Structure 1
Amino acid sequence: MPEGHSVHRIALQFERDFVGHRVAASSPQGRFAEGAAEIDGLTLVEARAVGKQMFLRFENDLWLRIHLGIYGAWDFFGTVSPITSESEALGSMGAPRLRRAVRMAETENTKDVDLESFPPPPVGAVRVRLMTDATVADLRGPTACEVIGADQVATVLARLGPDPVTDNTPEAEDRFVASIRTKPTPVGLLLMDQSIVSGIGNVYRAELLFRARLNPHTPGKNVSEDQVRALWRDWVYLLDIGIRTGMMLTMDGQTPEVEAAARLNRSDRYWVYKREGLPCRVCSTHIVMELMASRKLYWCPNDQA
């Protein structure tokens, strides 16, 4: 499932190439025909991400709310601008040019394509297509895709915990600390609760807890205030790296060789995620995988004892 950094990058892509432009909206698949008709021909005025949810605001104060869920993805074709200077250096987006295709979901994939015509014909089950004169964005497989008003947007946002990108204030940190430390629920579950903190999914949950050397089964109320504040600040730090690079890079402080390998290969990026049965990178104890509330949890039973 795409985590917070991915959704923020998608919102940034819309900000670069769609905001300020009149947008043609359609539903090639047909399942979103009525919603597409509501925003067809309107100018996009804002792209915003909060946690795993993205909101595109059109004129007339109509909002397109998207939650990618497990299988959702956006495909961009045509002029696809770089998001950050670092991402351009890493080659994840490249310089603005035509005949470029970018898939943005849990991970990103960029390639040059030989488009015989623009726009390219939709391929597969495209729920909604948004198009300017130069760029096309096709959405596939979302959990949620709806046109709503400002009041409904406010209702959705009120249910979400703080997102450091949109609210990295002392008050947001205090809210996070209070939410964790007043509950008997295991901290490994609390970090996945989007009403407590927005954007953390399975990967960041496992990596944050290992970096903090916290046992995921520790009740939130038993985690010290200093530890909870450190979790928040580490989430701020890792989320910024993810947005800048397009990767969940959690093994910082490594040698240049290790860092280079991590950027090239996902299996080299993590301390514990998807490393069950392999030796811990710190203590050599075998990493454990278990189910916690039906989601896979990875941790080191020694370093996180």
Structure 2
Amino acid sequence: MPEGHTVHRLAAAFERAFGGQHVRTSSPQGRFSEAAQLDGMVMLGAEAVGKHLFLPFAPAADVAPDSPAVRHVHIHLGLYGSWTFAGDPGFADAHAIGAPRLRLGEQEEQLEGGPDWRRLVPRPTVRLRVAGEHGLADLTGPTACEILDAQERQAVIDRLGPDPLRPDPDGRERRRFVEAVRRSRTTIGALLMNQKVVSGIGNIYRAELLFRARLDPLVPGRDLSAGMLEEMWEDLVALMAYGARTGRIVTTQPEHRDLEARIVERSRGTRQNGDEDPGIVARERSFYVYHRQTLPCRLCGTVIRSADLAARTVFWCPRCQSVRSRRAGWTREHPAAPWAEAADAGETEEAA
């Protein structure tokens, strides 16, 4: 399932591609018949909250965002959802964002003239097609695709925990995270996967954040200090901001990347943005513990373990991650700055 940074990149892509434009909308698959209600309306922009995407539509570009006339398309990609973009040169930074997809699989109509993207016939699985002046975007396989009014949109957002990628000038979102964790007996490893506690985190960020904090995944949330949780939040904000900018999750410090540079991948593999580019940090160098079960820890040599926790596999080093109720000093000595070394490259979105 795409993690939160992916959805924020997706929102930015829609802002650039369609923001303020009259667009054509359709549902080639037929399962989103409400698309006809939006056809010809203006897409006012795009908004990401955790793993949820909201696309506001209005009759005209000057309609206020909070107007009752605005219709919000709410999309959650889930495990299999994906957006595929096609258009004029420079139309979209990414070809596809979401679950792994091959290159464009649409058939082509034999039409004369016009840009190639205008000839793309959508696959029968396309739930929603959005087409503008310079390109189009096709949605396939989402968990949710629905039209909401302003009150229904807010109800979805109110069910979510704080999003590390949304502005937080007064620290309110950080405090919400700290308070939610500290009042719970649930393990921190499970809490980090609860979208009501913190929205946008997936399995990679969970595993890597806990390692960077030197924290045992099984410690109850209420046993952690506010200071430790505040530092974890700041580390998460920095890591996810880098992911939103580049499409890559990179959590290793430069001096650790060539230590035990291996990964135990599934048959599909852990794909990241720009994997084919030789200038980026390769995925086997990007993580400390994620998909490194049975391999030696990069720092201490202890075998990395894995177990089921909160319906997903958690990965950890039993020696490095021994902290249960106090703050480890490692991240203070090695500040979170993988983006200082990793190059921005490629545009096929991370899809683990």
TM tier relative to shorter chain: 0.7 to 0.9
Secondary structure at the residue paired with 2:95? strand
Note the 1:1-305 alignment, pairs <5 A.
1-33=1-33, 35-59=34-58, 60-79=69-88, 81=90, 93=93, 102-105=95-98, 116=116, 118-168=118-168, 169-254=170-255, 263=280, 265-305=282-322
Secondary structure at the residue paired with 2:139? strand
Q: Report the Cα offset of residue 186 of structure 1.
A: 0.1
Q: Report the Cα offset of residue 266 of structure 1.
A: 2.1
Judged with a 3 Å threshold, the aligned counterparts in structure 2 of structure 1 residues 147 and 172 are, in CA distance, closer, same or farther, namely same
Whether the 8 Å contact between 1:17 and 1:80 is mirrored in structure 2 is no
Q: Give CA deviations for 1:222-276 in whole Å, capped at 9, x if unaligned.
A: 1111110111001110011001111011113437978997935323211111111
Partner Cα separation in structure 2 for residue 299 and residue 272 of structure 1: 6
Whether the 8 Å contact between 1:119 and 1:136 is mirrored in structure 2 is no
Partner Cα separation in structure 1 for residue 116 and residue 167 of structure 2: 44
Residue 86 of structure 1: aligned partner: none
Could you tell me the TM-score, scaled by structure 2's length?
0.76
Aligned length: 287
Whether the 8 Å contact between 2:216 and 2:321 is mirrored in structure 1 is yes
Judged with a 3 Å threshold, the aligned counterparts in structure 2 of structure 1 residues 102 and 110 are, in CA distance, closer, same or farther, namely farther
Partner Cα separation in structure 1 for residue 253 and residue 15 of structure 2: 29
Q: Report the Cα offset of residue 210 of structure 1.
A: 0.4
Partner Cα separation in structure 1 for residue 131 and residue 240 of structure 2: 29
Q: Give CA deviations for 1:5-25 in whole Å, capped at 9, x if unaligned.
A: 000000000000111111111
* Percent of residue pairs bearing the same amino acid type: 43
Q: Give CA deviations for 1:202-232 in whole Å, capped at 9, x if unaligned.
A: 0100000000010000000011111101110
Could you tell me the TM-score, scaled by structure 1's length?
0.87
Whichever structure has more helix as a proportion of its residues is: 1
The amino acid across from 1:214 in the alignment is L
Q: Report the Cα offset of residue 3 of structure 1.
A: 0.3
Whether the 8 Å contact between 1:249 and 1:262 is mirrored in structure 2 is no
Q: Report the Cα offset of residue 105 of structure 1.
A: 1.2
Q: Give CA deviations for 1:49-98 in whole Å, capped at 9, x if unaligned.
A: 01100000010310000000011110000137488xxxxxxxxx3xxxxx
Judged with a 3 Å threshold, the aligned counterparts in structure 2 of structure 1 residues 117 and 69 are, in CA distance, closer, same or farther, namely closer
Judged with a 3 Å threshold, the aligned counterparts in structure 2 of structure 1 residues 164 and 128 are, in CA distance, closer, same or farther, namely same
Larger Rg: 2
Q: Which 5+ residue runs of structure 2 have no aligned equivalent?
A: 59-68, 109-114, 262-276, 323-352
Secondary structure at the residue paired with 1:263? coil
Judged with a 3 Å threshold, the aligned counterparts in structure 2 of structure 1 residues 109 and 51 are, in CA distance, closer, same or farther, namely farther
